Amino acid sequence: MVELIDLSGHVETGQPTFPGAQETRIWTSASHEEVGLAWSAAVDEETESIRRKLAARRTGDETEHPLVRTLLVSEHGPTHVDAFSHLDPTSDGSVDRIPLERFYGDAVGLDVSSVSEEAFVTESVLRSALDAADLELRPGDAVTLHTGHRAATYAVDDPAGRRAYLTEYVGLSRDGATWLAEQGVGSIGVDAPSIDHGSAMETKDYPAHDVCASHGLLNYENMANLDAVAGRRYTLCAFPLKVRGGTGSPVRAVGIVD
């Protein structure tokens, strides 16, 4: 029996977004009630559709119930994938030009949650995580890194939590990212705002992104529930929106386990 594991966070107002990315905003564009009242005024005889729109109000519920909502969201806000054009301005690899096969395939989940937020995920850490899970990397694999960061710090309504989520997380060292590339992996995913260390915002050194750019690796960020696939081989499905010229896209990442 196939098990589907949701590896995505919500798209929600107030979610922490990487500096420079548009904050997520969601608002109601039209409600059932306002549309129902407008339709009532336009026709002589009330239709079943109008009665359905006004059903809640006629029970005494004065709440406005959303019919259509509008989303203002960054390509790099929620759980998302970076396109090659985001990594390198000389690349024409926008998200709509990347073959769909790159977003679906074999994956390995690794538990690196023992690494402290001051440290980096190095080649040694990755090798140890593989050995502990009795797993091996194969060419084309996606590798997801369960750091535990999202579960520990992610917040919508708490400013201190949002700040901690955006600044205090582990990331791949240059040797760790390079080693993954040398093993032939196709993508890297993490439950944090970036596959690079939180200190990169100060140092302006993003070695994991550099390696992805030079080796043609995809990277997924702001993933969730990676503990559920840590220590397992599975199939990762994480298709992006077909954003023309997109530098990235939100994805609904799903782990598929037989």
Tell me the domain boundaries of the chain.
3-11+74-257, 25-72
Output the pLDDT for position 116. 94
> Is beta strand 187-190 parallel, antiparallel or unpaired with respect to 142-146?
parallel
Q: β-strand 254-257 against 66-72: which pairing, if any?
A: unpaired
Could you tell me which residues come within 8 angstroms of residue 108 by beta carbon, excluding any fewer than 6 positions away? 130, 133, 135, 137, 141, 142, 143, 144, 232, 233, 234
**CATH, domain 3-11+74-257, list 3.50.30.50, 3.90.226.10, 2.40.30.110, 3.30.70.20:** 3.50.30.50
258 CB-contact burial (10 Å; exposed 0-12 / middle 13-18 / buried 19+)? exposed
Q: What is the pLDDT along the chain (258 residues), one digit of tens a residue?
A: 899 999 999 999 999 999 999 999 999 999 999 999 999 999 999 999 999 999 999 999 999 999 999 999 999 999 999 999 999 999 999 999 999 999 999 999 999 999 999 999 999 999 999 999 999 999 999 999 999 999 999 999 999 989 999 999 999 999 999 999 999 999 999 999 999 999 999 999 999 999 999 999 999 999 999 999 999 999 999 999 999 999 999 999 999 998
Q: How many residues does the chain have?
A: 258
Beta-carbon neighbour count of residue 206 at 10 Å? 21
> What pLDDT does 1 receive?
87
pLDDT at site 94: 98
pTM of the model: 0.95
Q: What pLDDT does 57 receive?
A: 96
DSSP reduced 3-state for 140: coil
Q: According to the model, what pLDDT value does residue 241 have?
A: 98
Model pLDDT, residue 180: 98
Q: Which pLDDT value is given to residue 144?
A: 98
